[in-house]
Amino acid sequence: MSNPRLLTLDTNDQLLDIPATPPSDQRNNNNHHHHLNNIGSNNLLTTSLIIASWYFSNIGVLLLNKYLLSFYGYRFPIFLTMLHMLSCAAYSYAAINLLQIVPFQQIHSKKQFLKIFALSAIFCFSVVCGNTSLRYLPVSFNQAIGATTPFFTAIFAFLITCKKETAEVYLALLPVVLGIVVSTNSEPLFHLFGFLVCVGSTAGRALKSVVQGIILTSEAEKLHSMNLLLYMAPLAALILLPFTLYIEGNVFAITIEKAKTDPFIVFLLIGNATVAYLVNLTNFLVTKHTSALTLQVLGNAKAAVAAVVSVLIFKNPVTMMGMTGFGITIMGVVLYSEAKKRSKGASH
């Protein structure tokens, strides 16, 4: 989505740790060591492939969204988001019930359902804002704004849960904001509405992670991130349906007409929606095979990679000041991650 992390469920969700299958008894020690070496190299290969898939899907969905909404002229960000949600619902159902990637979990109460519904509404707001911003802003600037998520997370955590961070954590947020101020002042393709909806999207994403942390923390209500997506995606699609019909008019008829004259649009939309689901799947797999912290580090690097790739593909102008501002923001996010790690270590 505007920022692939938008469609991701937070990595601090309860993840099931599936232990590796122990090797069968070997005839002798040499075989055993050889077998363990094979497992090690296989694990390394698997992890590398998963990380590569994560990069491909995250940057892929971003560039596809930008191409569709800005260059191809398919100006229906709400409908596009709804397609993403329907695709996530269908693929999640297949992954959990048919492929059994994770055990299926049921919703236990009306209260739990309402909490998931509230999360879906925040999720929708964030993703629609993010996609809408791609109509007006270049991907590089969109990613720079998206990198300020920790700033909004710290604000919401303080406002909603009165959770105070250490002074070091708050200080690390200064370069995050400073970088955006520098980037904004020197962005050649700055668009006020695009900027505001992108900030709204980033704030929405932060709010979702804080709310998710509060409302699904009790043991009875803890849902695996893949199960949470299974419930959230169809609810989000239902929330978006009246909005797309009211704001974007007869988008269904327009899409069908477009498909008749240009079948490529069908391939683009299906491909786009599939990659949007892969963002979630690879997010979960990266966390399972490495750690939530690795995902955070990859996310920081991804913003920079996505910005460079988009500039190379879409040839949007960039200034030295803009690049400096982006660099300052990314540096702030890295400092913030380190400060958070230290404050967690101190509290333990």
pLDDT tens track, the chain, 348 positions: 444 444 443 333 333 333 333 444 444 455 555 555 566 667 888 888 988 999 999 999 999 999 999 888 888 999 999 999 999 999 999 999 988 888 888 888 888 898 889 999 999 999 999 999 999 999 888 988 988 888 898 889 888 888 788 888 888 888 888 888 888 887 888 899 999 999 999 999 889 888 887 776 666 677 777 888 899 999 999 999 999 999 988 888 999 998 999 888 999 999 999 999 999 888 888 877 876 667 777 777 788 888 888 888 888 888 888 889 888 988 888 888 888 888 777 766
Q: What is the pLDDT of residue 2?
A: 43
Q: What is the pLDDT of residue 26?
A: 42
In a domain, 82, yes or no: yes
Q: What is the pLDDT of residue 225?
A: 79
Of the chain, the end-to-end C-alpha distance in Å amounts to 36
In degrees and rounded to multiples of 5, residue 314 shows phi and psi of -90, -5
In a domain, 41, yes or no: no
In a domain, 231, yes or no: yes
Query: How many other β-carbons are positioned within 10 Å of the β-carbon of residue 84?
Result: 30
Tell me how far apart the alpha carbons of residues 51 and 39 are, in angstroms, rounded to a whole number.
Answer: 18
In a domain, 335, yes or no: no
Tokens of residue 311, six digits:
């500039």
Q: What is the pLDDT of residue 7?
A: 45
In a domain, 224, yes or no: yes
What size, in residues, is the chain?
A: 348
Split into its structural domains, the chain has a count of 1
* Domain of 97, in residue numbers: 47-165+191-291
In a domain, 339, yes or no: no
Q: What is the pLDDT of residue 19?
A: 36
Q: What is the pLDDT of residue 242?
A: 94
In a domain, 252, yes or no: yes
Which residues lie below 8 Å from residue 225, measured CB to CB, with a gap of 6+? 9, 10, 11, 13, 14, 15, 280, 283, 284
In a domain, 21, yes or no: no
Tell me how far apart the alpha carbons of residues 111 and 38 are, in angstroms, rounded to a whole number.
Answer: 48
Q: Decide: 219 and 60 in contact? Cβ < 8 Å.
A: no
Interior CA angle at 79 toward 73 and 85, to 5°?
130
Q: What is the pLDDT of residue 347?
A: 67
